[in-house]
Amino acid sequence: MKARNLIKVVLAWVTSAVVAHAASIVVNDASFENNDGGDLASGGWSNNLSPDWEERDGVANGNSFEEFIPSFSSDGTDHIGMNSGYYIWQDTGVALQPNTIYTLTIGAGRRTSGQTSAGNSTVYALLAGTTNLGAASYANTAAVIGDPSLTLASASFNAGSLSDLTFVDAPDLVFTTGATVPAENVVILLGDNSDGARSHFDNIRLDATPVPEVSTSLFGLLGALFLFRRRR
Ligand SMILES: [Ca+2]
Ligand SMILES: [Ca+2]
Ligand SMILES: [Ca+2]
Ligand SMILES: [Ca+2]
């Protein structure tokens, strides 16, 4: 094989080895379109998030609600609204993996200045398991994200800076695990950490990508290639 062809082959192999493949983790009712008691009509809402999402104060509590507000969603027709301090979560059922890059993306919305405060804090986080989640242990979103034994990473987005009836994708929350991880599932937390008013969420996405690994054998191959080229 000519050196140039060999270089092409090796470069192709290096590229395939280094470019890791992102895999989506399934998020059930990620867009809040499946509604308890039947599909929502325009202007309707439902307090019951089960069976897909669990909430701080139990099933069908009024502090979180799927709602159909015309022209106010980032995917489909429905989103979820959440009162000040409240939180919900979903256990993905997928075990945390070592050396993995997790990327959580959410749509965050501002309804009006009355329902979305100027200092809004729309919170999204990745947790290791669900131990003791619920009002008895964690009174509000700040309590959950303040516990580093439960919360791996969290982010806050100020939807109050948006125009009325606008959803945008908040910046990705990216968290990379190390060589060891808790024996827990990946859990998504959505919450409000504002002084008042609400937060609005839609279109929740989660990817997991292995940390690219350049093996010692790859370095060995590159070294051999270098020598091969010099000899010619
Ligand atoms: Ca939706
Ligand atoms: Ca619906
Ligand atoms: Ca639902
Ligand atoms: Ca609810």
In DSSP notation, 30-93 reads TTS---TTSPPPTT-EES--TTT-EETT-TT-TTEEEEE-TT--SSSSEEEEEETT-EEEEEEE
Q: Which ligand is nearest to the CA of 201?
A: 1
Q: Please state, in angstroms and rounded to a whole number, the distance separating the CA atoms of residues 32 and 224.
A: 54
Q: Please state, in angstroms and rounded to a whole number, the distance separating the CA atoms of residues 38 and 179.
A: 45
Query: Stretch 39-43: mean pLDDT, rounded?
Result: 98
Residues around ion ligand 2, judged by CB within 5 A, are 33, 35, 39-40, 78
pLDDT tens digits, residue range 162-210? 999 999 999 999 999 999 999 999 999 999 999 999 999 999 999 999 9
Q: Which ligand is nearest to the CA of 75?
A: 1
Q: Which ligand is nearest to the CA of 74?
A: 1
Which amino acid, residue 229? Answer: R
Q: Please state, in angstroms and rounded to a whole number, the distance separating the CA atoms of residues 146 and 138.
A: 10
Whole-model pTM: value is 0.87
Q: Which ligand is nearest to the CA of 27?
A: 3
Q: How far is the CA of 221 from the centre of ligand 3 (A)?
A: 52
pLDDT tens digits, residue range 5-40? 655 655 565 555 556 678 999 999 999 999 999 999
Percent of the chain with pLDDT over 70: 84
8 Å CB contact between 211 and 20: yes
Q: How far is the CA of 154 from the centre of ligand 3 (A)?
A: 23
E-only strand ranges, the chain: 23-24, 45-46, 54-55, 64-68, 78-83, 87-95, 100-110, 122-128, 151-157, 166-169, 173-176, 185-192, 198-210
DSSP state of 160: G
pLDDT at residue 220 in the model: 56
Q: Please state, in angstroms and rounded to a whole number, the distance separating the CA atoms of residues 171 and 118.
A: 18
Any idea which residue has 């919900």 for tokens?
88
Whether cis (ω within 30° of 0) applies to the bond prior to 212 is no
Q: Cα-flanking dihedrals φ and ψ of residue 227, to 5°?
A: -65, -40
pLDDT at residue 121 in the model: 98
Q: How far is the CA of 173 from the centre of ligand 3 (A)?
A: 23
123, β-bridge pairs:
156, 191
Instruction: Between 200 and 213, name the one with better pLDDT.
Output: 200
Domains in the chain, CATH or no CATH each: 22-30+81-231 (2.60.120)
Which amino acid, residue 66? Answer: E
